[in-house]
Amino acid sequence: MTELLQAAISPPNLLPTGLLVFVLLYWLTVLLGLLDLKTVDLSVEDHGHLHFDSDGAPNEMGTSWLNGTLAFFNLGRIPLMIFLSFLFLPLWVGSILLNYYTGNTSGLLGLAFFLPLFIGSLFVAKFLTLPFVRLFTAMEKDHDSSAVVIGKVCTVVLPATAEHLGQASVRIDGAPLMLNVRSTKAPLGKGETALVIDFDAARKCYLIEPFANS
């Protein structure tokens, strides 16, 4: 374990280690409820068409090429941080192994190894994220039928506020359905009852408010 730690912080592996630490810290903040899954995301709409929030209009040919690249690597079809997690982990492992077996201790040579390792890790990430593409595609189909759950009473499973994403369970025809939710009014804690009032297409979550039985 000590040898692995020493290898991770050695000059040729320092950049991949820093990227891996970045995603680990991100997931830690998600677990602590400080951020949610959609806080850092890439806005790609209409089956892989990149959405620009600025007023500048990008070159059409360049945008088309970029859209195709993003779609090929599943970006825009899954949250950005999930893709980066599956990108940086194999990148780090590959860097550790390559520098170990070549006996490299040079930071400059480590940077030279970084580019081919990064490209290879992109394809690994594409393969590893395929199950998540199917998962989020299924979730999108559930969102398309949002009218089914709007107006239903749900039970909060993970705390939700106006800023932070939570989860709630609602029963449709007797079967429980998990929803990503935000509270429009007071924060809602685990186990509280809420009413589903709308679907936020921009942030891809349902809006709920406290519900009390009369």
In tens, the pLDDT along 140-154 reads 655 545 557 888 899
Greater model confidence, 92 or 205: 92
**pLDDT computed for residue 73 by the predictor:** 81
The mean pLDDT value for 169-195 works out to 85
Confidence (pTM): 0.59
**pLDDT computed for residue 151 by the predictor:** 87
7-12: Cβ within 8 A, 24+ apart: 7/96, 7/99, 7/100, 8/92, 8/96, 10/99, 10/105, 11/105, 11/106, 11/107, 11/110, 12/95, 12/99, 12/104, 12/105, 12/106, 12/107, 12/109, 12/110, 12/111, 12/113
The mean pLDDT value for 81-106 works out to 94
**Percent over 90 (pLDDT), the chain:** 39
